[in-house]
Amino acid sequence: MMVDTPFMFAVSPMQSMSINGHSLFIKRDDLLHPAFSGNKARKFAYFVINDFPKIKRLIGYGSPQANSLYSMSALAQLRGWQLDFYVDHIAQQILDNPIGNYGAALANGANVIDLSKQPDRNERDTLTYIEQVVLANADDSVLFVPEGGRCHYAEVGLQQLASELKDWLAEQSFKQARVFLPSGTGTTALYLNKALMQMGIDIEVLTCSCVGGEDYLKTQFIELDPTMVYHPLIITSAKKYHFGKLYPECYQMWQQLRHTGIEFELLYDPVGFIVLQQFLQQADAKPTIYIHQGGLLGNQTMLPRYQRKYGGLDKV
């Protein structure tokens, strides 16, 4: 059943951009809605547009600065639910200066639970604690969403993205194209590729791993789709990037992107553009679409880290 809500996702615009001699089309998913943007908006769309009459509490987990924390807090506020978001620990500097996704989530009424301070944790990791303590005693008023929205419900929002890409391809009279996006768990890339394939649209989905390497990403794909029918193509980076670590070339790439007039986030997008540039040096000339990852609130904490390590914006 569809819920009667004033919340509506816009069709995100497409914008042309050139960087280092490569012409790209940017799917501006950062502009979907002020409260929801990027891949999290796509993955959580199911929970926005469907009715959940019994739900009163939303359960999630991850990092205290995760994009998913803010998006889930916005979802809970919209639906009148309480968000309980479990984290392994919260660093003191985050508590002292609650900005970025953490600060915005608190402003939305999120209850962020630091497991390092829970007496019944008993050395359990975050997911195990949720499964054994929180969900074991939960009733049907509780809705649990896996970390980062990695679940089959994400298909709904990615089907909409695929439909938008299909319409744009027809408007441009392009017979084929490729789409690229960086991956964490790979949920967005996989379900986007599945939707496009099922629609019979000639858009090749390419991705790269930003968390845990190529083998980790393949494992994530298999858990979501054991048949391997809908797995997108993974482009291997010339260098392995460790998630959350600061790299001067990522900072430099972000600076270049910033000069195009579009702000990108600092965790996934710089790695994505580095890998995409390497790929395009040997690729054919078919139109290439980059999916903006949204998550710009995270820059409030990532950018100061880069500036402390590498200096000002134009000094790398």
The pLDDT of residue 3 is: 38
Q: Please, what is the Cα angle at 45 between 42 and 46, to 5 degrees? A: 130
pLDDT tens for the chain, 316 residues long, are 333 444 557 799 999 999 888 899 999 999 988 778 888 899 999 998 898 999 999 999 999 998 899 999 999 998 999 999 999 999 999 999 999 999 999 999 999 999 999 999 999 999 999 999 999 989 999 999 988 778 889 999 999 999 999 999 999 999 999 999 999 999 999 999 999 999 999 999 999 999 888 999 999 999 999 999 999 999 998 888 888 899 999 999 999 999 999 999 999 999 999 999 999 999 888 999 999 999 999 999 999 999 999 987 555 4
pTM summary value: 0.92
What's the full length of the chain, in residues?
A: 316
Q: How far is CA 230 from CA 137, 191, 233, in A?
A: 36, 8, 10
Give the SS3 label for residue 114: strand
Report the distance separating Cα 51 and Cα 49, nearest Å.
Answer: 7
Report the distance separating Cα 10 and Cα 27, nearest Å.
Answer: 12
Query: Over the stretch 45-103, which tens digit does the pLDDT of each residue have?
Result: 999 889 899 999 999 999 999 889 999 999 999 899 999 999 999 999 999 999 999 99
Report the distance separating Cα 166 and Cα 70, nearest Å.
Answer: 29
The pLDDT of residue 316 is: 42
Give the SS3 label for residue 85: strand
Query: Over the stretch 141-171, which tens digit does the pLDDT of each residue have?
Result: 999 998 877 888 999 999 999 999 999 999 9
Phi and psi dihedrals of 89, rounded to 5?
Answer: -165, 165
Report the distance separating Cα 123 and Cα 185, nearest Å.
Answer: 25
Report the distance separating Cα 49 and Cα 164, nearest Å.
Answer: 17
The pLDDT of residue 22 is: 87
Which residue ranges form the domains of the chain, and what is each CATH number?
14-38+152-310 (3.40.50.1100), 55-139 (3.40.50.1100)
Per the CB < 8 A criterion, the answer to whether 272 and 291 are in contact is no
Q: What is the 3-state secondary structure (H, E, C) of 146-203?
A: CHHHCCHHHHHHHHHHHHHHHHHHHHHCCCCEEEEEEECCCHHHHHHHHHHHHHCCCE
The pLDDT of residue 213 is: 85
